[in-house]
Structure 1
Amino acid sequence: MTLEIDTGTGLMPVHEWNPEGDGPGVLLLQEIFGVSGYIRQRAADLAALGYYVVAPEIYWRLDDTELDESAPDLLEKAMALLGRLDWDLAVSDAVAALEYLRGRDAGTGIVGFCFGGGLGFNVAAASPPDVLVSYYGSALPQLLELAPKVTAPSLHHFGDADTYLNADDVIPALGDVEIHRYPGAGHAFDNPMPAFHHAEASELAWRRTVAFLSRELPTSQGS
């Protein structure tokens, strides 16, 4: 299902899962590939745990945003799309979605992957949720000065074979948070695309994510 959230400068399309649920709300933030089939599956996974999940179309202000997930130039086109995105507007749009969840008064969490992992970190600094889960947040190296403002219990996942993001450059600044590293896993290791996927790391990281959320943002199903 979809809804629209008022950002103050327009109505942002947002996908929702478990719309009748009364559990805590989770803001799910996309990779550079948009609200893809993979992101939709992770949303369904979270909804199955009892969360009310929203995934905003962060590219909504741009034109020509359609991406063919099977195209050989997918990564190139997604990177070009990201290059046209206004980061500050993306943060404020995501904050609007978080505020929508906060209005339900049932608890709020952020789960972000890659681009969304960094965006979620920035959102958590601007408008603290109850919990944050960040998978290899690609913008983290540029956001570390915000770390003191990220006060929510946080979980970070990093692949040790990530050639895009060096965890050693990021982890010391994150403070007292839960961090897991995955030997042999590269960037976007949770994405099922063969070019990225690391099955063992993906399964273990998700198990840890579920355990973390169950502890820090429990639902009636997990109690």
Structure 2
Amino acid sequence: MSHIDPKYIPQQAFDWYDEYAHGDMDRRTFMTRLASLSVAGLSIGALSSALTPNYALAEQVSFNDEAITASYQKFDSPDGHGTGQGYLVVPNDMPKPAPAVLVVHENRGLNPYIKDVARRLAKEGFIAFAPDALFPLGGYPGNDDKGREMQRSMDREKIESDFIAAAHFIKQHSKTSDKVGVVGFCFGGYISNFLAAKIPNIIDAAVPFYGTPAADNLVSQVKGPLLLNFAQNDSRVNASWPEYESILKANKVDYQAYIYPNTQHGFHNDSTSRYEPEAAELAWSRTVTFFNRHLA
């Protein structure tokens, strides 16, 4: 599949996909609504394919890249599911310990796009660790629909505890310096905000991409620094930002926030037509600069 230019896809289709991807609409309803659209030159199949991920498009850094080494590592999570597992990517040229970045997936497990993000960070000189929330159920199933069902079936608090345990694991890793950041997308954006509030003594810098804030009883504990990336056409997430920003301002938290014009929720994910290359590259360059500044 090649990308369909997003300008040919009605905003309604993006909005319905967002509802479907976040469990607020079943697949039958999603497809029925797509069928109601009149989209010149596009079949419903082509439209559906454009909106759903094609992970063959998402690889920017090969797992065979000679500059990095990737492996799977288990970690203890006594307050979560007992044992977790993540994708660890380490730069091969490491004369001394390097800062680590926890990479948090969307609401469907550790898919190929998130693993590629981890490899991109390792190419920038960071130790990247991307846990799979679905590991207790056998791991990401290779299918996003099934992955969403699996993650939705799990205890949310135990998943959160698994990510706390993962942050402790990577901070204590022998190759890690004393600095740890977190970057996450969608659900992972929420987890990034959650970790910044729950364990601010562990997280030295957080970069949520289109993520909602931590729960009301935690959000005032955020210490920062934070770099927050939002899509303009993302009313569900953006509705939570004004109140969150007022709390950050009141607590004098060091934060930067950017809303990227004419973008959709998921604009950094280069496997769907929601991908917006210029915004994704700008947000990513800001992310790498931010981590270099605060984790070095």
Contact 2:88 2:128 in 1 (8 A): yes
- What is the TM-score when the length of structure 1 is the normalising length? 0.85
Q: How many residue pairs end up in the alignment? A: 210
Long gaps (5+) in structure 2: 1-70
Residue 202 (structure 2) pairs with residue 127 (structure 1): no
Give distance in 2, aligned partners of 1:110 and 1:143.
18
Give distance in 2, aligned partners of 1:199 and 1:149.
34
Task: Report the Cα offset of residue 186 of structure 1.
Answer: 1.0
- 1:27 corresponds to: 102
Task: Report the Cα offset of residue 50 of structure 1.
Answer: 1.1
- 1:182 corresponds to: 260
State the identity %: 30
- 1:16 corresponds to: 88
Give distance in 1, aligned partners of 2:210 and 2:197.
17
Residue 143 (structure 2) pairs with residue 47 (structure 1): no
Question: Relative to structure 1, is the Cα distance of residues 155 and 144 closer, same or farther in structure 2, using a 3 angstrom cutoff?
Answer: farther
Larger radius of gyration: 2
Moved over 6 A (4+): none
- 1:6 corresponds to: 76
Residue in structure 2 matching 1:94, options 163, 188, 206: 163
Contact 2:109 2:148 in 1 (8 A): no
Letter in 2 for 1:112: G
Aligned positions of 1:105-120 closer than 5 A: 105-120=177-192
Task: Report the Cα offset of residue 47 of structure 1.
Answer: 0.5
Give distance in 1, aligned partners of 2:77 and 2:185.
22
Give distance in 1, aligned partners of 2:215 and 2:132.
22
Letter in 2 for 1:124: A
Letter in 2 for 1:36: N
- What is the TM-score when the length of structure 2 is the normalising length? 0.65
What CA deviation, in whole Å up to 9, does each residue of 1:165-188 have, x standing for no partner? Answer: 225544434434110110111101
Question: Relative to structure 1, is the Cα distance of residues 195 and 114 closer, same or farther in structure 2, using a 3 angstrom cutoff?
Answer: same
Letter in 1 for 2:86: V
Task: Report the Cα offset of residue 111 of structure 1.
Answer: 0.9
